A and B are shown apart, each in its own frame.
Chain A
Amino acid sequence: MSTTQDFSGYGGTWCPGCGDWAIGMAIKQAFVQLELTPSSLMVFFDIGCSGNMNDYLNAYAMHGLHGRSIPTALGAKLANHTLRAVVVGGDGGIYGEGGNHFLHACRGNHDITVIVHDNGVYGLTTGQVAPTADKGYRSKSTPAGIIEFPANPLALALSQGASFVAQSFAGDLPHVVETIKKGVSHKGFSLINILQPCVTFNKVNTYQYYLPKVYKLDESYDPTDLREAFHKTNESLEEKFPLGVLYQVSRPAFHEEVSHLPADISLGMRPAFTQLEALIKQFV
């Protein structure tokens, strides 16, 4: 049985009060409760404050390029699908720089869990606007207010075929833990968008801002109802933020649909192909 200590590397480097502390703790707790060990999973860190969890969370990991954590994750998953794969990134990396990868990973239902720290700003570069910021949000890069409409990652994921779409709030640690456990346990692509106040650079979307506006989906909510899920994703327009699993459906994951990939043995562990003669024939 592992402990959160097993997963703890070097200390975090986040600002006091940053939502990333709660998410970092929640990830470790979820892994422990799922009886995982640092050697039993692969974590793919994006670039940003969120990705700087790389030295704080022990695992087989790639700390790659900004926006590219999803493609590295799904490549590693295809090579070594007996290990779980988790992506840790921010709204800038996952929805901005890596937006194209995000939507195609949803389409492919790759068996990875994408945990997004959604704070509406670029923290590590000291406060430029991120794709999820509300229209009119003033930042270093948008002093007159951002012209674009905010990205709606939950609706985007649903429309592109993600089989698990959830939202949580960094101000509610137990809820984050439970949601990550559900997402990591889900077979297929799971998105967990976590509303995460940036205490230093975002003076609008604070804990105080979110507290009265978040609410938990209750037991009457049916997460298999796609139409209802789409409805929920649009509540952000009214500054209402549903927390919990908005949508979950069981569908074969990408690697399960690669017919020649055995279920129980990873790509790297199967015997080498040596029947070259069979291929040579076609050229003779």
Chain B
Amino acid sequence: MNSFLWKIGGEAGFGIMTTGLAISKLATRSGHQIYDYAEYPSLIRGGHNTYDVLISTDKVSATKHEIDLLICLNKATFELHKHRLSATSTVVYDPDEFVIEGEYHLVPIPFKKIRTEHNAQVVMMNTVAIGASVALMDGDINLYFTQIEEEFTRKGSEVVEYNKTFARLGYDEVKKNFSQYIQPVLKKQSEVTERMVMTGNEAFSLAAVAADCRFYSAYPMTPTSAVLGILAGWAEKTGMVVRHAEDEVAVINTALGASFGGVRSAVGTSGGGFALMVEGISYAGIAELPLVIFLGQRPGPATGMPTWTEQGDLLFAVHAGHGEFQKIVLAPGDIEEMFELTVKAFDLADMYQLPVIILGDKLLCESHQSLETEKVTTFTASYQPNYGKTVRTPSEQPYLRYNITDDGISERLIPGFEGVYYQANSYEHLEDSHTTEEAAPRIAQVQKRSRKWQTYLKNDFAKPTIYGDFAKAEKVLVSWGANKGILLEAQKKAKEQGIEFAYLHFTHLYPLDTELVASYFTENKQYILVENNSEAQFGKLLRAEVGIDLKEKWLKYDGRPWYVEELVEKLKIRFPPTRE
């Protein structure tokens, strides 16, 4: 089946987010796969919210332009989206609120009248809309009833029945009067694989628990605020200590303290908060303290566009911190990579005793995607944390915290062992951790720390992933992070139209293995860099670190993600069909 785009829009505060997630879960439980994406302004009431759910029998990883079913909870939704409708698009709206002119499959449902008749709250319109949506997509209403029971049973059976009533109203209205517009989108699949519906924030949180992270501190900031709530909500169960600190400076220093104290620690933020943490990252660098930093990007500078998406902080993350020191920057491209790379980040932080930055963006942090439950359970069943050279008993005495070693990694003792002591020193230090300003030990420590990167590049750096036939491909699109999903969808769509390209997807962004990465760039291919920023930041990084200068760049920086159709259009213009 082709993918089907369901979309709802309405005033902020109407319950759009909950409604969208309900459809995502319903589709997933019917055996389908979803990708969802919400747009909302940075305010609580009054603006316009929308929620896309793309539904398919196959894996989907980006939304699309054309809307198949649009639920308009107000007139603005229709006006803002009519350019994305076709003659076969279905539009659900309230005929008492506004009139629609044009050729669509019109499904007028008197939301307001239903509300008034039942003296119901505004949010109940959503429940009616879900009922109607389930009918229009030929879904099983009982699956939705189960969701209602899961959500409201604790509030009593009356509340459950009340919600079901409204869902049934919408459902019956479609079945009775608009059966001609019903499409078999949600028909239950014969085999239903259990899948989770997860955002990047949720995948990060679950992975942090799986990786035995025991301390998380943060200060709320979109788009990673949800992590703080999720981990705090789980804390009683997991035993993790979660602290909402007074500011991001405290956030990172508290986490560094916890790391020194002997537990895996992490922080989460966005660009502005990250800016305040930068001095702490430098401290982690010289004191060689493990730390995982989750940086969810949004458009800056300064407050920028808080609830929108951009990849504008890559170079900031790479260069964050005064002085020269080692860090690792990883950028997952989807929910599955978010889970795996987050777990890996905790291992790397311990193994190399340095800060590891997980770079996400609003698109990845807040969009839901389906992920097979088994993928996570299988992964975690065999997972053993790699604590590297972290010890509770020193292997030899006198203990030297910053012992000069060939691989650059010294034994890190967790405080408490009797008869030994040392400092996590922000000053340059001797092997025994005492402060020094002498030239020789300075050089020795700088070189020791630098060798950690060489060890990492040799053992744990991951080369870019290739999608498509790289050997044959004449055209190669190069990108990173959440663009992955969009490029993979574009790859399918473009192929249908006779344009084939390979996609080079980078996740291990810094440091880069010069020779290995350079080997992917050859004379006989045309490379196009695709980024969600205005400065081609990964392009600059490639040029600086690898010496590769990608001349052709497609950049988007309006706060919106790339759309699949948009990329396909650009490909068609760039590579017109050759005339015989």
Q: How far is the CA of A60 from the CA of B261 in the complex (A)?
A: 10
Q: Is the CB of B237 within 8 A of A278?
A: yes
**CB-defined interface of A36-74 with B at 8 Å, one 1/0 digit per residue?**
011110101101000000110011111111001001111
CB distance from B227 to the nearest CB of A (A): 13
Q: How far is the CA of A275 from the CA of B253 in the complex (A)?
A: 30
**CB-defined interface of B139-151 with A at 8 Å, one 1/0 digit per residue?**
0000000000000
Q: Is the CB of A64 within 8 A of B215?
A: no
From 217 to 232 in chain B, residues with beta carbon under 8 angstroms from any chain A beta carbon are: 217
Looking at the complex, which of A21-29, A78-86, A139-147, A230-238 is the stretch in contact with chain B? A78-86
Q: Is the CB of B241 within 8 A of A261?
A: yes
Closest to A71 in B: B253
* Known A-B contacts A79-B262, A101-B250, A280-B376; A39 and B194 likewise in contact (beta carbons under 8 Å): no
From 227 to 276 in chain A, residues with beta carbon under 8 angstroms from any chain B beta carbon are: 258-261, 266-268, 270, 272-273, 275-276
Partner of B261, one of A61, A258, A268: A268
Q: Is the CB of B426 within 8 A of A63?
A: yes
Partner of B287, one of A62, A74, A270: A62
Q: How far is the CA of A259 from the CA of B420 in the complex (A)?
A: 31
Interface: B427 (CB within 8 A): yes
Interface: B263 (CB within 8 A): yes
Q: How far is the CA of A277 from the CA of B374 in the complex (A)?
A: 10
* Known A-B contacts A39-B419, A62-B257, A268-B414; A78 and B243 likewise in contact (beta carbons under 8 Å): yes
Q: Is the CB of B261 within 8 A of A80?
A: yes
**CB-defined interface of B155-199 with A at 8 Å, one 1/0 digit per residue?**
000000000000000000000000000000000000000111110
Closest to B415 in A: A60
Interface: B236 (CB within 8 A): yes
Q: Is the CB of A63 within 8 A of B425?
A: yes
Q: How far is the CA of A104 from the CA of B244 in the complex (A)?
A: 11
Closest to A52 in B: B435
Closest to A273 in B: B238
Q: Is the CB of B283 within 8 A of A83?
A: no
- For A104, list chain B residues within 8 Å (CB): 245-246, 250
- For A55, list chain B residues within 8 Å (CB): 434-435
Q: Is the CB of A273 within 8 A of B423?
A: no
Q: Is the CB of A74 within 8 A of B254?
A: yes
- For B434, list chain A residues within 8 Å (CB): 9-10, 55
Q: How far is the CA of A164 from the CA of B502 in the complex (A)?
A: 66
Partner of B423, one of A62, A261, A279, A283: A62
Q: Is the CB of A42 within 8 A of B212?
A: no
Q: How far is the CA of A279 from the CA of B241 in the complex (A)?
A: 17
Partner of B417, one of A39, A68, A82: A39
CB distance from B296 to the nearest CB of A (A): 19
Q: How far is the CA of A60 from the CA of B417 in the complex (A)?
A: 10
Q: Is the CB of A74 within 8 A of B257?
A: yes
Q: Is the CB of B421 within 8 A of A60?
A: yes
Interface: A17 (CB within 8 A): no
Q: Is the CB of B373 within 8 A of A65?
A: no
Interface: B260 (CB within 8 A): yes
CB distance from B392 to the nearest CB of A (A): 9
Interface: A100 (CB within 8 A): yes
Q: Is the CB of B262 within 8 A of A80?
A: yes
Interface: A76 (CB within 8 A): yes
> What interface size band does chain B fall in?
35 or more
Closest to A262 in B: B239
- For A68, list chain B residues within 8 Å (CB): 249-250, 253, 280, 283
Q: How far is the CA of A37 from the CA of B418 in the complex (A)?
A: 8
Main secondary structure of the interface of B (DSSP, over half): mixed
- For B377, list chain A residues within 8 Å (CB): 276-277, 280
Q: Is the CB of A267 within 8 A of B283?
A: no
Interface: A75 (CB within 8 A): yes
Interface: B470 (CB within 8 A): no
Q: How far is the CA of A73 from the CA of B250 in the complex (A)?
A: 11
Q: How far is the CA of A273 from the CA of B417 in the complex (A)?
A: 24
CB distance from A4 to the nearest CB of B (A): 15
Q: Is the CB of B241 within 8 A of A267?
A: yes
CB distance from A57 to the nearest CB of B (A): 10
CB distance from A271 to the nearest CB of B (A): 9
Interface: B327 (CB within 8 A): no
Looking at the complex, which of B202-210, B475-483, B538-546 is the stretch in contact with chain A? B202-210
Q: How far is the CA of A44 from the CA of B426 in the complex (A)?
A: 11
- For A182, list chain B residues within 8 Å (CB): none
CB distance from B27 to the nearest CB of A (A): 13
CB distance from B247 to the nearest CB of A (A): 6
Q: Is the CB of A39 within 8 A of B212?
A: no
Interface: A117 (CB within 8 A): no
CB distance from B78 to the nearest CB of A (A): 33
From 545 to 568 in chain B, residues with beta carbon under 8 angstroms from any chain A beta carbon are: none
Q: Is the CB of A83 within 8 A of B258?
A: no
Q: Is the CB of A75 within 8 A of B206?
A: no
- Residue from the set A68, A72, A83 with the largest chain B CB neighbour count within 10 Å: A72
- For A1, list chain B residues within 8 Å (CB): none
- For A187, list chain B residues within 8 Å (CB): none
Q: Is the CB of A80 within 8 A of B416?
A: yes
- For A63, list chain B residues within 8 Å (CB): 423-427, 435
CB distance from A249 to the nearest CB of B (A): 23
CB distance from A187 to the nearest CB of B (A): 18
- For B287, list chain A residues within 8 Å (CB): 62, 64
Partner of A75, one of B247, B253, B376: B253
Partner of A78, one of B29, B241, B280: B241
**CB-defined interface of A1-33 with B at 8 Å, one 1/0 digit per residue?**
000000001100000000000000000000000
Q: How far is the CA of A9 from the CA of B421 in the complex (A)?
A: 11
- For B283, list chain A residues within 8 Å (CB): 64-65, 68
- For B262, list chain A residues within 8 Å (CB): 79-80, 266, 268
* Known A-B contacts A65-B279, A80-B416; A72 and B376 likewise in contact (beta carbons under 8 Å): no
Q: Is the CB of A64 within 8 A of B258?
A: no
* Known A-B contacts A38-B421, A100-B247, A273-B239; A79 and B257 likewise in contact (beta carbons under 8 Å): yes
Q: How far is the CA of A25 from the CA of B376 in the complex (A)?
A: 55
Q: How far is the CA of A263 from the CA of B215 in the complex (A)?
A: 17
* Known A-B contacts A37-B418, A63-B427, A100-B250; A79 and B280 likewise in contact (beta carbons under 8 Å): no
Interface: B380 (CB within 8 A): yes
Q: How far is the CA of A109 from the CA of B236 in the complex (A)?
A: 21
**CB-defined interface of B76-113 with A at 8 Å, one 1/0 digit per residue?**
00000000000000000000000000000000000000
Q: How far is the CA of A101 from the CA of B243 in the complex (A)?
A: 13
Q: Is the CB of B280 within 8 A of A272?
A: no
CB distance from A257 to the nearest CB of B (A): 11
Q: How far is the CA of A10 from the CA of B110 in the complex (A)?
A: 82
- For B517, list chain A residues within 8 Å (CB): none
Q: Is the CB of B426 within 8 A of A64?
A: yes
19 pairs, A vs B, C-beta closer than 8 Å: A39-B415, A44-B257, A64-B424, A64-B426, A72-B253, A72-B254, A76-B261, A78-B254, A79-B258, A79-B261, A100-B247, A258-B241, A259-B236, A261-B239, A268-B262, A278-B237, A280-B373, A283-B197, A284-B197
A-B pairs with lowest CB-CB distance, top 10: A75-B257, A79-B261, A60-B415, A75-B254, A283-B196, A72-B257, A71-B253, A268-B262, A76-B261, A80-B261
Given A68-B253, A268-B214, A284-B197: 10 more A-B contacts, CB < 8 Å: A42-B261, A45-B423, A62-B424, A63-B427, A71-B245, A74-B254, A78-B257, A79-B215, A260-B239, A261-B241
